[in-house]
Amino acid sequence: MPYTARWIDESEKSRFNEFLARHPKGHVLQTWEWGELKSRTGWHPWRLILEENGEIVAAISILERKLPVVGFPIFYASRGPVVAWQDEKLFDALLAEVKVLAKKRGAIFLKVDPDVPSSERQLENYLRARGFRSAESGKGFEGVQPKYVFRLDISPDEETLLKQMHQKTRYNVKLAQKKGVTIRMGSKEDLPEFYRVLKETTERDRFLVRSYSYFEDMYDLLHPAGLAELFLAEYEGEIISGTLALIIGEKAWYLYGASSNEHRNVMPNYLIQWEMIRWAKSKGCTMYDFRGVPGHLTEDNPLYGLYRFKKGFNGEYTEFVGEWDLVYRPFIYFMWTHFEPIYSDVVKGILGKIRRAGKGHSHHK
């Protein structure tokens, strides 16, 4: 067999990441550091490389986690594997190696959600032929990673990019500049303020947010490695908006956005996106990903505003192939997929009740 496969340790971290940065399918969620971040939230990372003549030709970062109730682990490769998937021999060799580890660890299945548009039918055919099954929940926005995103080709010059934006978006970018909104890169010291604004956002838009320590860990692990940057919008000496961006190779992602209830009329969110695009360009990126939008939206959807905001920058609406599971233990998989949704709903219901009770009467509709 022409490929040598190895599970690697930290001594090959930079070599692993350099391969991801160069590879067309490389993704920041496959990096060494992302695995470390997840290891602090109950996952165990494994990294595999396949080499040919001493050169890395494929890689996968797998997160392992024990499932409640059933007690066996699952494998998840977020936005992985990093492989030229048209090369079926190479892909087969990678999957064979993962299967060996899965047997050892007693894993129920391997979940993948590759960074590949759904228009690439060939990949779907390959996955089906290898025994993968589609694990779509039918909730495109609520998968582990978003199934629908807006992506912008940022290789044209700035003038062209501005010209191609929706007229209202371009107007709002300029309005923010005119009103005196300034954008700067934040440091670790700015994280508490960013998080405060993020909490304001989540309370306003009613979605849950991870704990402060998660963001602190993310900054500590990803920023020194050059994989993450914090951006802040200031107005009249106050931080009114913030974002977290991820970057590797020629790709950048808008990961988290926070905006204060104050001064929304000076349009900081438009200017901050524009400055992030300019930053990504300056780093040699050709692709900027606005990340998740809900699928197939109508104007009465509560998330339509988010969709319209991202669409205004003229990105291309992209649907990914979605989540696919390669099942190693069919019976347990069957039990889990049929009972986990019930289990989840019960747990969410209980948590919701506790949360509502905690808020008492201070919650205004």
The yes-or-no verdict on residue 361 having pLDDT over 60 is no
Q: Establish if 162 belongs to a structural domain.
A: yes
Instruction: Among 285, 310, 328, give the residue marking a domain's end.
Output: 285
Q: Among 33, 60, 46, which Cα is nearest to 107's?
A: 46
The 10s digit of each residue's pLDDT in 281-294 is: 999 999 999 998 87
Query: Domain containing 108 — which CATH number?
Result: 3.40.630.30
Q: Establish if 144 belongs to a structural domain.
A: no
Q: Among 245, 244, 247, which Cα is nearest to 20's?
A: 247
Instruction: Among 285, 308, 334, give the residue marking a domain's end.
Output: 285
Provide the domain count of the chain: 2
Q: Establish if 279 belongs to a structural domain.
A: yes
The yes-or-no verdict on residue 342 having pLDDT over 90 is no
- In DSSP terms, 327 is beta-bridged to 109
Segments forming the whole domain that contains residue 162: 155-285
Q: What is the reported pLDDT for 362?
A: 39
The 10s digit of each residue's pLDDT in 154-204 is: 999 999 999 999 999 999 999 999 999 999 999 999 999 999 999 998 888
Residue 342: C-alpha distances to residues 135, 324, 325, 335, 348 (Å): 16, 21, 20, 11, 10
Q: What is the reported pLDDT for 337?
A: 83
Instruction: Among 237, 264, 285, give the residue marking a domain's end.
Output: 285
pLDDT band at 206 (very low <50, low <70, confident <90, very high): confident
Q: Establish if 293 belongs to a structural domain.
A: no
Q: Among 258, 321, 247, which Cα is nearest to 288's?
A: 247
Provide, rounded to the nearest whole percent, the portion of the chain with pLDDT above 90: 78
Query: What average pLDDT does the segment 7-21 reach?
Result: 98
Q: Establish if 229 belongs to a structural domain.
A: yes
